[in-house]
Amino acid sequence: MSKKWIKNGIVVTSTDTYQADLLIEEGKIISIGKMPDISDAEVVIDASGLYVFPGAVDEHTHMSMPFNGTESLPWETETVAAAVGGTTTIVDFALQAKGSSLADTIRKWQTRAAENTAIDYNLHVAITDLTNEIMEEIPTAVKSGVSTFKLFMAYKGELMVDDSTMFRMLQKAKEVGALVMVHAENGDVISLLQQQLLAEGKTEPYYHAVSRPIDIETEATHRAIKLAKAAGSPIFIVHVSGGEPAQEIRRARASGQPVFAETCPQYLFLDETYLALPGFEGAKYVCSPPLRERSQQEQLWNAITDGTLQTIGTDHCSFDFKNQKNLGRNDFSKIPNGGNGIEHWIPLLFTYGVKAGKITLNQFIELISANPAKFMGLYPRKGTIAIGSDADLVLFDPKVEQTITAASHLQGSDYNFYEGRQVQGAARHVLLRGEVIVKNGIYVGSLSQGQFIHAKPFGAAYRINPLARGITNEGKPVETGAAL
């Protein structure tokens, strides 16, 4: 049986930092500790001076997703970029086309990903058409390994669902241990504001932000939380963009309600002034919720450190500037929503989070790997370094410095959200289930290596005490026999 030996690295998990060797066999970690010479190791990697992280689990991506008459950039390019950056698992949003079954939606996404993904993946189904048949199909979808569902409160006429749909989905989710993830923005009001602005001739990208003020997000966040409470179900709010919606989550958790949430790097590192860049450049930064005032960033960091927000996901939904963002040149509401970040989110958070003293190294791993895996029902197979876990490992050099630029990135887009940022740290080697897929920063894997990973129901949202700050250290399981 061929073994791999990673020696002399500094292992970092969400709870611990320590020097240890790792032994890998059949894709799993089989031993951790100081080891004598492993004479039968087929591969030996000296990780001296490197951190050994569990691969990042990005719970929020959109690969090859139809949007505003085009499609986000594909699995082929974006998962290679993810791998080189240190992400080894994504949970991608499979959009239910109206009239399609859940099985067909899942199959469609799996077919698209098959032979085209460099890294492992799971799926959330974004429900757009909750018929009685779909309600009946939900337990089967969960048995097939999909235990998270997204509901959009925005994108009226396309993806948006009404409150009764949301309520029914929340009721069903708690029966089967699924997690409902919500895009919280009031789509009715956004649609109205879009029409008003366009009628006034306000067509430029900046008006995207004007049409989606933070109060609209805060209102929807509040409504989603109250609907979840009435339904008796946990809820997970995605892409929280500022302090006011975060405050809704903080308040609900303080009352003991299981409300959990994510923010994204763009809300921590970019702000609404980017939308006002001249020459239609602002279109590059059109995403939803929109980028906010700079003052919101500090409030989001506070929400991370006080445990209001559990995870960071990229919301990588990448489009080309020249060919795709251009669709909205005369009408901001037609600009495909989304940006990129999966290649560089790890050094960005390491530099401006860990090195800047905002979060500890262990919190960093908690936010990008352990907690996403726990909430998405993938832990402890993913999200940690433990005996029996998949050997998804990032050997991270904290000393390397790089300047982010589209000129050298691997992401398919012709621009980079973080163009010109100086960052510290980079993945030197990345292993996916024990196979080296990135060697000295170069992708050496193949697109047939990524696998669909089954998610278990009754993940962390069902198991932790909402009043506890974190999960790993302080959270107490409230049920037994489930995913953790």
* Least distance in angstroms from the C-beta of 60 to Zn ion: 5
Q: Does 219 bind ligand URP (CB under 6 A)?
A: no
Beta strand 179-183 pairing with 235-237: parallel
Span of 17-25, 177-185, 297-305, 443-451 interacting with Zn ion by CB under 5 A: 177-185
Q: Does 325 bind Zn ion (CB under 5 A)?
A: no
147 binds, among Zn ion, ligand URP, none (CB under 5 to 8 A by kind): none
**Please, which residue, 62 or 222, has the CB nearer to ligand URP?**
62
Cα–Cα separations (whole angstroms), residue 209 to 282, 335, 345: 11, 12, 23
Report the residue from 58, 204, 315, 390 that binds Zn ion according to the rule CB under 5 A: 315
Q: Does 84 bind ligand URP (CB under 6 A)?
A: no
* Least distance in angstroms from the C-beta of 278 to Zn ion: 27
Cα–Cα separations (whole angstroms), residue 462 to 287, 382, 425: 30, 18, 35
Q: Does 324 bind ligand URP (CB under 6 A)?
A: no
**Class of residue 343 by CB neighbours under 10 A (exposed 0-12, middle 13-18, buried 19+):** buried
* Least distance in angstroms from the C-beta of 316 to ligand URP: 9
* Least distance in angstroms from the C-beta of 237 to ligand URP: 12
* Least distance in angstroms from the C-beta of 416 to ligand URP: 16
Q: Does 338 bind ligand URP (CB under 6 A)?
A: yes
**Please, which residue, 82 or 430, has the CB nearer to ligand URP?**
82
* Least distance in angstroms from the C-beta of 290 to Zn ion: 12
**For the residues of 137-203, what is the DSSP string, one character each?**
HHHHHHHTT--EEEEES-STTTTB--HHHHHHHHHHHHHHT-EEEEE---HHHHHHHHHHHHHTT--
**Please, which residue, 58 or 315, has the CB nearer to ligand URP?**
315
Place of tokens 């005490």: 465
Q: Using CA atoms, how far apart are residues 484 and 477, in angstroms rounded to an integer?
A: 9
337 binds, among ligand URP, Zn ion, none (CB under 5 to 8 A by kind): ligand URP
Total residues contacting ligand URP (rule CB under 6 A)? 8
Q: Are 174 and 233 in contact (CB under 8 A)?
A: yes
- Which residues, in sequence order, are CB contacts of 283 under 8 Å at separation 6+? 205, 321, 325, 326, 328, 329, 332, 335
Q: Using CA atoms, how far apart are residues 274 and 282, in angstroms rounded to an integer?
A: 6
Q: Does 287 bind ligand URP (CB under 6 A)?
A: yes
Q: Are 267 and 241 in contact (CB under 8 A)?
A: yes
Torsion angle, CA of 428/431/432/435, rounded to 10 degrees?
130
- Give the total residue count for the chain: 484
Q: Does 315 bind ligand URP (CB under 6 A)?
A: yes
* Least distance in angstroms from the C-beta of 338 to ligand URP: 4
124 binds, among ligand URP, Zn ion, none (CB under 5 to 8 A by kind): none
Q: Are 60 and 239 in contact (CB under 8 A)?
A: yes
Q: Does 337 bind ligand URP (CB under 6 A)?
A: yes
Q: Using CA atoms, how far apart are residues 147 and 456, in angstroms rounded to an integer?
A: 6
Interface with ligand URP in residues 13-72 (CB under 6 A): 62
Span of 9-17, 175-183, 227-235, 253-261 interacting with Zn ion by CB under 5 A: 175-183
Q: Does 204 bind ligand URP (CB under 6 A)?
A: no
Report the residue from 4, 7, 174, 183 that binds ligand URP according to the rule CB under 6 A: 183
Order of all β-strands in the sheet with 56-61? 56-61, 87-95, 120-126, 148-152, 179-183, 235-237, 259-263, 311-312
Report the residue from 172, 174, 183, 409 that binds Zn ion according to the rule CB under 5 A: 183
**Please, which residue, 62 or 344, has the CB nearer to ligand URP?**
62
Q: Contact letters (x/-) for ligand URP, 154-173, by CB under 6 A?
A: --------------------
**Please, which residue, 289 or 307, has the CB nearer to ligand URP?**
289
* Least distance in angstroms from the C-beta of 299 to ligand URP: 20
- Report helix angle 214-231 to 243-254, nearest 10: 20
* Least distance in angstroms from the C-beta of 268 to ligand URP: 15
* Least distance in angstroms from the C-beta of 187 to Zn ion: 11
Q: Single out the residue of 1, 4, 2 nearest to residue 429, CA to CA.
A: 4
Span of 41-49, 164-172, 307-315, 461-469 interacting with Zn ion by CB under 5 A: 307-315
Total residues contacting Zn ion (rule CB under 5 A)? 2
Q: Are 93 and 123 in contact (CB under 8 A)?
A: yes
Q: Single out the residue of 313, 444, 416, 307 nearest to residue 73, CA to CA.
A: 416
Place of tokens 């009946």: 136
**Please, which residue, 62 or 284, has the CB nearer to ligand URP?**
62
* Least distance in angstroms from the C-beta of 333 to ligand URP: 13
Encoded tokens for 417: 């959200």
Residue 442 phi/psi, 5-degree rounding, is: -110, 135
Task: Return residues touching ligand URP (CB under 6 A).
Answer: 62, 183, 287-288, 315, 317, 337-338
Task: Return residues touching Zn ion (CB under 5 A).
Answer: 183, 315
